[in-house]
Amino acid sequence: MDSTTTEVEETRTARTYLFSIKGIVKIMRLILTVTSLTLFIIAQAPETYIVVTSLEAITGLFFLTLYVLRLDLLWKCLFWPLLDILNSVVGIVFLLVVSVLAMVPETQVLTAVGGIIGIVATIFTIADTALIYRKLMFNPSGAYEKKQSHDKKHRLRRSHHSRHSHHSHHSHHSYHARFPQETNEV
C-alpha cells in the first residue's frame, strides 16, 4: 500500500465515515433491517423471517462498527471489503426471499409491511454492495493512487499513439520508396 493511501485511511474519522455516502447507506440499511425485524417480531411472523433479518441486522451492525472504529485498519489479516461484499450478496438473497414471502396475501398486515421495508433494505444492500465493488475495482488504494496511475496510463497512451502515428507515416513513405507505383503505360 502506498504511504499516501495509508495517510488518507488514517485520517478517516468516525464522523467523516458516518456522513460519507458509504456510511449513510450502511446506516439506512441497518435501520431498515432492524425496523423490518421489529415488525416481524411484533406480528409473530415465522421464525425464519426473524432469524434472517436478525442475522442481517447483526452483521450490518458489525461492519458499521468495524468501519466507524477503524478496526479494519488494525486487523489487516483479513480483506474486509471482500468480506463485506460477500456478506452483502448473501444478505441480498436472503432478505429478498424473506421479504417477498412476507408479502404473500395470507400474512398479517405488519408482516407484509415488514416485507416491504425488507425490500427497501435489500435495495440499500445492493447500493452498499455496488459502492464497495466500485471502490475495489476502480479505486483499490485510494484516490491519489488511482489518479497517479490514470495520469501515467494517459501519458503512455499519448506517447504510444504519437509514436505509432509517426511510425506509420514513415513506414508509408518507405514502402512507396521501395515499391514505386506502377503506371499503366503501353
**Tens digit of each residue's pLDDT (9 = 90 or more) over 3-62:** 444 455 567 788 888 899 999 999 999 999 999 999 999 999 999 999 999 999 999 999
171 and 90 in a common domain: no
Higher pLDDT, 126 or 170: 126
59 and 131 in a common domain: yes
Q: Look at 59-68, 96-105, 168-177 and tell me which has the smallest mean pLDDT.
A: 168-177
Q: What angle do CA 23, 25, 26 make, to 5 degrees?
A: 65
Residue 72, H or E segment: helix 71-74
96 and 168 in a common domain: no
61 and 135 in a common domain: yes
What's the rounded Cα separation, in Å, for the pair 41 and 46? 9
Full residue range of the structural domain in which residue 155 is found: 145-177
pLDDT of residue 137: 86
67 and 23 in a common domain: yes
The yes-or-no verdict on residue 175 having pLDDT over 60 is no
pLDDT of residue 13: 84
158 and 135 in a common domain: no
Is residue 128 a contact partner of residue 29, using CB atoms and an 8 Å limit? yes
Residue 9 φ then ψ, to 5°: -65, -40
pTM for the full predicted model: 0.68
